[in-house]
Amino acid sequence: MKDQADRLREIIDNLKRNQIINNNNYVNSRKKTNSARIITITSGKGGVGKTNVAVNMSIALSNIGYKVALIDADLGLANIDVILGVSPKYSLADILHYDIDIMETLSEGPGGIKFISGGSGVEELVKLNKEQLEKFISNIEILDNYFDIILIDTGAGLSDNVLSFVMASAEVIIVTTPDPTAITDAYALIKIISSRDRNKDVKIIVNRAESIKEANDVLDKLAFVSNRFLGMKILPLGLVLYDESVVKAVKLQQPFLISNPNSHASKFIRDITINLVNKNNYMPDSMRNGMKSFVKRLHSFFTG
């Protein structure tokens, strides 16, 4: 049975979500004529829960009215389909090798989201000639007409493939944990980004923290050292405390936002999502170039 504090938190959560939708005046009132917001989610090392964060963020965004697509671009350990408990029929590779439309590669996920398995198609972008690339771009840019936000879940680490996705994206979210090696690797990733584009929009999420203080200490530390020693502004986006319900959800092959929407992890993910679409953290339409620009930049990084 819910106590008074739980009911109060639910009321506040609902008010926040309604306020975001009304303030942005974005989802329900505009015509879908602008490009999608492309956000790459990455991490300095594996095992920090990056994909779980990406999946549940997608659902949280859908819950407040956004049309969301999630692309699995992890070349080594693609596992969005595992977390969602869905077996995709097609991947991006099918677009390259067969006469498959991008809309056919979209699989239905829970909570109203769509997702695309990258498969070997991501790596094979390198092999495309100019004519093949333009054909692929004309296909994939259709996503801009259907989605408000496209989240791209990359692999972990500092490989050239991961960095190509990071540098091709206008917005980047780095997921870390309070583990010292995870923090060190997150900072190493920020350092590489800053050496190539100091003005890139980079946000940080601390996952699996033992306490809010511990998470905030990590967020503050990364923001401070990035600004002090790299001259780069990093935005703390939020935190998720360690929650057993997340472990149980993975075993059930269900996002924790679906299997346990009232869990602490679910509440933190909703807070992060609200921060992401807050007008103060919002990228204006004029600064967003959608999938066409993203794929062109990605291809140039792959082949450059």
Residue 85, in any domain of the structure = yes
Number of domains in the chain: 1
Q: How far, in Å, are 57, 122, 190, 253 from residue 76 at the CA level?
A: 22, 11, 22, 19
Tokens encoding 177: 């944990």
Residue 25, in any domain of the structure = no
Phi, psi (deg, nearest 5) at residue 171: -125, 140
- Output helix, strand, coil percentages for the chain, rounded to the nearest 5: 55, 15, 30
Residue 35, in any domain of the structure = no
Q: Helices 264-277 & 50-63, crossing angle to 10 degrees?
A: 70
Domain that holds residue 135: 40-303
Tokens encoding 99: 């006469």
Closest CA to 69 of 149, 141, 132, 128: 149
Residue 5, in any domain of the structure = no
Q: What is the pLDDT of residues 110-152, one digit of tens each?
A: 999 999 987 666 667 767 788 888 888 888 899 999 999 999 9
Residue 19, in any domain of the structure = no
Residue 280 clears pLDDT 90, i.e. is over it: no
Instruction: Please state the three-class secondary structure of 234-266 as a single string.
Output: EEEEEEEECCHHHHHHHHHCCCHHHHCCCCHHH
d(CA 230, CA 275): 24
Q: What is the pLDDT of residues 149-200, one digit of tens each?
A: 999 999 899 998 899 999 999 999 999 999 999 999 999 999 999 999 999 9
Closest CA to 203 of 179, 225, 219: 219
d(CA 208, CA 230): 26
d(CA 24, CA 57): 18
Residue 50, in any domain of the structure = yes
| H or E stretch covering 176 | strand 171-176
- Provide the whole-model pTM: 0.87
d(CA 183, CA 224): 13
DSSP state, residue 115: E
Where residue 97 sits, what CATH number does that domain have?
Answer: 3.40.50.300
Q: Which amino acid is at 107?
A: S
Are the C-beta atoms of residues 269 and 257 closer than 8 Å to each other? Answer: yes
Residue 23, in any domain of the structure = no
Tokens encoding 292: 């066409």
Q: What is the pLDDT of residues 217-257, one digit of tens each?
A: 999 999 999 999 999 999 999 999 999 999 999 999 999 99
Residue 24, in any domain of the structure = no
Tokens encoding 247: 């472990």
Percent pLDDT > 70 in the chain is 82
Residue 207, classed as helix, strand or coil, is strand
